[in-house]
Each structure stands twice: as C-alpha cells, then as structure tokens.
Structure 1
Amino acid sequence: MNTEAITAPARLRLGDQARLASVGIRSRPLRAALSALGIAIGVAAIVAVLGLSSSSQAGLLAEIDRLGTNLLKATNGQTLSGKEAQLPREAPARLSMLDPVEQVAHVGTVADAKAYRSPLVPATHTNGLQIRAASLNLPSVIATGIAHGRWLNEASATKPVTVLGATAAQRMGIDRVYPGQRVWLGGQWFYVAGILRPAVLTTEIDTSALIGYPAARQYLNHTGVSNGKPADGHPSTVYVRAVTERVGAVQSVLARTANPKAAGEVDVSQPSDALTARAAAEGAFNSLFLGLGAVALIVGAVGVANIMIISVLERRSEIGLRRALGATRRQIRTQFLAEAVALALIGGAVGVTAGVAATAVYAKTQGWAVVIPVESWVGGIASAILIGALAGLLPAIRAARLSPTEALRTV
C-alpha cells in the first residue's frame, strides 16, 4: 500500500476554495459590508471622476463642433500711450473682402451709456451690462439664436428697440417678451423685441443690450465720421467666419487687414480656444480627485486588513480543526487570502456600479453623452483586487503559521 497516497493532503478545487473564502463573509455580513465600504467609495470616486471628466470633455468637444472652430474675433486694443484704440469703420468691409472669409458681423460698444431695468434703479447698480450697436447678421455669425421674441430688422434697427443677451435679461429679471415691454438704456426707454439664447463663443454678447447702429447714432450719440460727414459709430469687435481649413491664414492677416495703419492696436483671438482650454482645465482636476479616491482605497485596505486580522483571531478553533484534519498551511493561507480578495472585489464591484450610475445621472442632466472609459472600471476592479490581496496577505500568513495544537487551545 502506498502510504504517501494516504497521507498526502487532498488538493482543493477552485469551487471549494471559493466556498471556503465566502464563509467569513457570509457569517458576518454587516462587518464585511462596512469593511468593503471604503474600497467601494474609492473605486466609485475613481470611476465617477474619470467618467464625468470624459463625459464633460465629450460634451464640450461636441459643443465646439456644433459652434465651429472657424470663428475669429478682432477687438480694439490699446494705443502706445495706453488709451483704448478704435477700430476703423471700414474694418468689417475690409475683412469681408478676404477670400477665405465667409461671414462678417460686428458690434460697437456705446460709451458712457448703461442699461437698467427702469430709471428707478440706482445708477451704480449697472450689473455689468453694456449697450452695444449690432449688425443685423450677428446671431447667425456667432451661432446663437432667439430664445423669445424676434431679432432686429432694417426697420427696428432705426428705432428705440433692443434685443437683450441671455445674461442681461436674467439680471434685469426679464424672462419673456410681451408687447410694450421696455428697459431704460442710456437715459431713455427702449422697447424689448427679443431675448437671445446664450452665446457660448462670445459671452460678451450675453451681458449686452443690443440695438441697431442707426438707433445708437440717433438716440445714444454713437457716431463717427465718414468722408467728413456724420456716420454710424465705430465697431469695437468684429466677428469673422472663415473657411475652416484656412483659419490660421486668416488669423495671421486679420489685424493688419482690419487696421492697416496700426495693426498692433487690434487684438485677435479664436473664441473656440477658450472652450478647448476649459476642457483641458477640467481634466487638470482629475489628479486631485483621483488622489482622494486613492486615499479612500487606502482606508478601505486598512479596513479589510483589520477585519481579516480579527477574523483570524476569532476563527483560531476553525483553523486548528482544519489543520488537524489535514489542511496544509498553503490551503489555510489561500483560504484567508481569497476571502480578503473576495471582500475587496465585492467593494470594487459596488464602487464601479455606483460610479457608473453617478456618471450617467449627472451626464444626462447636463445633456452630455455618457462616456465611461474602459480604464476607469477595469482599473477600479484591478485596484480593488490588488488592495484586497495586499491587505489580506499578512493575516493569511499569520493564520497559516498557527499550529493545530496552539489553535485548538481555544476550543
């Protein structure tokens, strides 16, 4: 008879090892749930941070694609003496003659004129609003539309009629347009014709009360001189839509085309750059929140290690009995290590579910596409398993080192 075959310990199958690993979790579910909570929070933070960041950036990039990256803006800068420069009245016409330019619109800030809800509002309460004369094609060029009412036309541009930017209307407490509605602009009443939707690429329009150039000239003294005769006032900002493939070329000549005599007094920018920078800036906060998630994972690891050490102390009799019945040190070590990993895996799975759910809910409320990077949930699960293995290693080794006689003293 082969005595080695009789005395050799039986090899546990994977299913048996899984059942043994679940004994401690099933016998103490509340304690197991609390110890896995830290890992769940950490994994949820990692998944949610990466998911929300990716969804936000996807939403911003979609917004950029919708609004277009081919909008350029030329504004009046400063003279060499530090005073505010002035764009020539001919600047929009000059820019429209460039071959790659598709559309040109412009606005002119009406100096020393403020916008109020009524003349009863104290003069110091300007709410940061400006009155701007606007060309009639402005909404289509800056990719915005009318939220309420209607835009200016050739007739209303000559009358005391205004269209409010989205923020201007909000600060004035106006959320709809009705016949006879008026606001106090530059010391006299103007009728409200409409309210614009938010202008994402040109936020200065949001805080503006927009009127026609002829009305600005007649009612608010926004005038200029052309060929020695009084004319409409100077533009302060010119918006240019160029062929997308040639935006760089247009941008390089925009200043000297707008003002050939003083190109240095013209500031040129590409509004879509601000959205792109915003997407990058939001990604910069990822490291901070991922760090917080890592802290939560470490706290969870401490919790798992703690419960496993307590579990070893409480289950000394079980360990001794199993050793007396022939279980090897390796099998005892595998049992407790697998239990720690299972505990962490449960926390990781709950964390991934919570993180995905949080991302989906918030992204839907913001109108973003729900984007969950593969590395977020794979990394979350992998980090949970790693944390569980590291946290359970020392208690598992400690359990495996217990001799049957020492462990059975507690029976």
Structure 2
Amino acid sequence: MTVSTRLRRSRRDEGHGRPWMDPRDLWAESLAGVLARPVRSMLTTLGTVLGIGTLVITIGVAATAANQIVGRFDALTATSVSVVVPTPPPGSLDPALVGWSGVDAVRRLAGVESAAALSDSEDTANVQVRANEVIAPGTVSGQTMAVVSATASLPAAVRGTMSSGRFFDSGDIGRHARVAVLGDQAARLLGIDDVRRAPAVFFEGQSFTVIGVLGGFQREQRLSVSVILPPTTGADRMGLKDVTRVLVNTSLGAAGQVAHQAPIALSPGHGDSLTVLAPPDLSKAKKGVQGDVNGLFIVLGLVSLIVGAIGIANVTLVTVMERVGEIGLRRALGASRRQVAGQFLAESTTIGLLGGIVGASLGVLVVVCVAGAKQWTPVLDFRLALGAPAAGALVGLLAGLYPSLRAARMEPADALRSPS
C-alpha cells in the first residue's frame, strides 16, 4: 500500500468521511500490476499492437494504392476523347460529315495534344492477309485481320511507338502510295519482323509494301492486329473513303472542354450528329475508388482490432481470478468497489494505450516502406495515426469492463477464503 493511500485511510479513521484514492495512486497501482507480469502484459499488448497496426497499415496502404490507381486513370483515360462519325447510307449523295482535313481544325483547339482520323468498315473488318504470293497446298495461306486507313498522326494519337521502320507521311499520302503499316501483333502473325528488305502483304488481289510496324498501343489496342493504310490508298484500293472515328488526346483537365468543341470544329453546323465519348468526372471516380478500397480494408482492420480486444479481456479476466486474494485484502482494508474496478480498468486501458502507440508507429513505418518500395507517394491520414493511441486505450477500456466489474463484485470475506 502506498504512503498516499495510507494517509487517506488515516483521514478516514479520523472521521473525514468515505475513503478515496488519488488518481496518481490509481495510476501507480495499475502500472505496478502491469509490470508485475511483464511477459503476460507484453503478449496482451501484442494483440492491440496487431489490431491498431493492421488498421493503420490497411487504411494507409489503401489510400496510397487508391491514389496511385487514380493517378494512372488520370494519365491514361482522363485525357482521351473519341468522336464517332456516322457513315452515310449506301447510295446517298450527301457529303461526308467529317473530312480528312477536319483533324487539322481539332489540333488547333486549346488543350489538344494530338489527334488522328480513322476509317474502318464492316467490309474490311475480316480480310484474308498473306505475307507472300505463293499459296502452298496444305499450308495456312494467311491470317484474318482488319484493314483500316488513318492519317499520318495516328502513332501519337494511340500513344504508340514504331518498333520497326517508319509510319507513312504526307508524301506517301499525296502519291497514293501502295504502302502499309502493320500493328505489332499483325506483324508477328504474318512472320514479318524486319521491314528493311521491304516485305509485302497481299489481300484482295493487291500487294502493299510494308514500311513499318507500330506497337506499344495505349489506345485502340485492336489496331495491333490490323493493317493500316494511308487515307488516299485506303479510299482507292479498299473503299475506305469516309472518316468513321477521330481520336483526340488532351492535356489533363481539358477533356471536357475539348469534348464540347471537337464536334463543332470537325463538322460546323452538324456537330449534333456526331457522338462524343469523353472520360467520366475524375472527382467521382477518385471518390469511388478510394471509398471501395478503404471500406474493404477498414473491415479487415476492425476484425484484427476485435481480436486484440478479446485477448485483453481474456487476460484481464485471468488476472482477476489469480489476484482474488489481493482483491479481498484491499476490500478488507477499506477499498471500495469503485476503486477495485478502477484499478483493473486502468490496467487494461494502459495495455490498450501502449498497444495503440506501438501499433500506430509500426503501421506508419510499414506504409512508408511499402510506398517507397513501390515508388509510390505515401498517403497518410495523420489524424488516424494520432488517434490510434486513443483508440487503443478505448479498446482496452471496453475490454476490461467485464473483468473489472467481476472483481468489484467480490465480497472481502469470500475473496480472502479463496485460494490465491
């Protein structure tokens, strides 16, 4: 018994009223109870460490991953705009809504980084293409792939790169040259890996010289299995006269404005007839990704925290049963039920507080290490890290309620008779 407590009891004996315990005495007794069994206290604290640490790690990693996902979404999807152009019905004498030169007007819009026009049709969607003119019996004579025509700015519009050779230019377009560029998958299927010897492809009874292979598509991946012709050659040889799609890449944040202006620039007076495919609102997408990921990991963290709370409750209850004699002695010396309950509540709260501090520290460290290993920007809510010790203390407090109440209900005589 501490000196302070003895002084309080002496004051009671002198008629100063009901005994009471100074908060400092309560803290000292609780700390002594925790330190009296260091191994058990450490193992009990470990449950809270795991719970708080898991909660901080999961929320931190979720926020970091969501930020990375949204960042990639911003870079690839939020800057892509497509304009679909309806084709005139067969036999119609009406002029095309969009001409090949309309792409130049789109490029002049503020916020546009690149743009290209494409022409495709159902008639050229499945064409038998061969890489040689000789048809040997019993062998596969070719591959079925799409044939399209496009402007010379297509590589930039699909964010692709030339893996071999070159793309056709304005000179090829002006000469109506019978040249073609293959998508990387189409070149692989046809067995063409080197264009320096000017290989040719054959389809629809015509030959075309392959001058390049385009790969690395970040947009319009289906073009990787296509034969791409200059617009003049496509119109002369395959009937691809009309623009069917316009691909536009914009600066970040300019997609909405460009999506509104592009139809007007492409077809003045008929912009309403064009269909614009623009990216969704980024703020809603970001909130949706973060909300879904955070919700999943919060559930996992709370489950771990509940496991830690159950561990504290079990160990505190065992501690109460082992200290029955001590409880009886304290009650016999004048300690009230409230003081006994307060002591065990303080012990469990102390364990939870220590677990919260250690768990939050480890959680922040793990989040930073994971972000560093992945070369991500760590996203941490410091309110969570600072509130984690309080959450750990609350978990310890709640976990110790039942054991504390059980200790407080013990009668001094019964407790003293029980074996310690």
TM-score if structure 1 supplies the norm length? Answer: 0.69
Aligned to 2:248, the other structure's residue is in SS state: strand
Contact 1:59/1:368 (CA < 8 Å) preserved in 2?
A: yes
Cα offsets for 1:273-314 (capped at 9, x unmatched): 376654333223122432343344334333322332222112
Partner of 2:350: 342
Partner of 1:279: 286
Contact 2:327/2:412 (CA < 8 Å) preserved in 1?
A: yes
Contact 1:348/1:381 (CA < 8 Å) preserved in 2?
A: yes
Judged with a 3 Å threshold, the aligned counterparts in structure 2 of structure 1 residues 274 and 389 are, in CA distance, closer, same or farther, namely: same
What is the deviation of 1:392? Answer: 0.9
Give the whole-Å Cα distance in 1 for the aligned partners of 2:311 and 2:269.
72
What is the deviation of 1:369? Answer: 0.8
Contact 1:161/1:193 (CA < 8 Å) preserved in 2?
A: yes
Partner of 1:397: 405
1:92 aligns with 2:91: no
Give the whole-Å Cα distance in 2 for the aligned partners of 1:150 and 1:280.
44
What is the deviation of 1:323? Answer: 4.0
Judged with a 3 Å threshold, the aligned counterparts in structure 2 of structure 1 residues 185 and 401 are, in CA distance, closer, same or farther, namely: farther
- 1:294-309 alignment runs, 5 A limit: 294-309=302-317
Aligned to 2:407, the other structure's residue is in SS state: helix
What is the deviation of 1:340? Answer: 1.6
Give the whole-Å Cα distance in 1 for the aligned partners of 2:9 and 2:360.
51
Aligned to 2:325, the other structure's residue is in SS state: helix
Aligned to 1:239, the other structure's residue is in SS state: strand
Matched AA of 2:167: L
1:72 aligns with 2:77: no
The partner residue of 2:59 within 43, 50, 56 is 50
Partner of 1:230: none
Aligned to 1:73, the other structure's residue is in SS state: strand
Matched AA of 1:56: A
Matched AA of 1:312: V
Contact 2:81/2:248 (CA < 8 Å) preserved in 1?
A: yes
What is the deviation of 1:70? Answer: 5.6
Aligned to 1:160, the other structure's residue is in SS state: strand
Give the whole-Å Cα distance in 2 for the aligned partners of 1:327 and 1:95.
86
Matched AA of 2:11: A
Partner of 1:83: none
Aligned to 1:19, the other structure's residue is in SS state: helix
Judged with a 3 Å threshold, the aligned counterparts in structure 2 of structure 1 residues 180 and 102 are, in CA distance, closer, same or farther, namely: closer
Matched AA of 2:233: R
1:293 aligns with 2:301: yes
What is the deviation of 1:376? Answer: 3.2
The partner residue of 1:316 within 316, 324, 334 is 324
**More moved, 309-318 vs 215-224:** 215-224
Contact 1:52/1:359 (CA < 8 Å) preserved in 2?
A: yes
What is the deviation of 1:55? Answer: 1.6
1:16 aligns with 2:31: no
Cα offsets for 1:90-109 (capped at 9, x unmatched): 44244346577564323334
1:152 aligns with 2:160: no
Matched AA of 2:182: T
Partner of 1:5: 11
Contact 1:40/1:351 (CA < 8 Å) preserved in 2?
A: yes
Give the whole-Å Cα distance in 1 for the aligned partners of 2:375 and 2:165.
26
Q: Which one has a bigger Cα radius of gyration?
A: 2
- 1:225-236 alignment runs, 5 A limit: 233-236=241-244
Give the whole-Å Cα distance in 2 for the aligned partners of 1:208 and 1:250.
27
Contact 1:21/1:342 (CA < 8 Å) preserved in 2?
A: no
Contact 1:216/1:222 (CA < 8 Å) preserved in 2?
A: no
Aligned to 2:400, the other structure's residue is in SS state: helix
Please provide the CA RMSD for this pair: 4.9
Give the whole-Å Cα distance in 2 for the aligned partners of 1:263 and 1:68.
23
Judged with a 3 Å threshold, the aligned counterparts in structure 2 of structure 1 residues 170 and 102 are, in CA distance, closer, same or farther, namely: closer
Contact 1:169/1:195 (CA < 8 Å) preserved in 2?
A: no
TM-score if structure 2 supplies the norm length? Answer: 0.68
Give the whole-Å Cα distance in 2 for the aligned partners of 1:117 and 1:339.
81
Give the whole-Å Cα distance in 1 for the aligned partners of 2:254 and 2:152.
25
Contact 1:152/1:212 (CA < 8 Å) preserved in 2?
A: no
1:105 aligns with 2:105: no
Number of residue equivalences: 384
Matched AA of 2:115: V
Give the whole-Å Cα distance in 2 for the aligned partners of 1:185 and 1:383.
72
Judged with a 3 Å threshold, the aligned counterparts in structure 2 of structure 1 residues 315 and 27 are, in CA distance, closer, same or farther, namely: farther
Partner of 1:228: none
Contact 1:72/1:240 (CA < 8 Å) preserved in 2?
A: yes
What is the deviation of 1:250? Answer: 4.0
In structure 1, the gaps of 5 or more residues are 81-85, 225-232
In structure 2, the gaps of 5 or more residues are 1-6, 14-18, 90-95, 133-138
Cα offsets for 1:324-351 (capped at 9, x unmatched): 5565544432331122223333443454
Cα offsets for 1:35-71 (capped at 9, x unmatched): x53x445434432343233223433454466569565
Aligned to 2:377, the other structure's residue is in SS state: coil
Partner of 1:370: 378
Matched AA of 1:52: V
Cα offsets for 1:20-49 (capped at 9, x unmatched): 24246525257526xx53x44543443234
Partner of 1:32: 44
Partner of 2:181: 161
Identity %: 25
What is the deviation of 1:112? Answer: 1.6
Give the whole-Å Cα distance in 2 for the aligned partners of 1:277 and 1:78.
34
Give the whole-Å Cα distance in 2 for the aligned partners of 1:26 and 1:61.
46
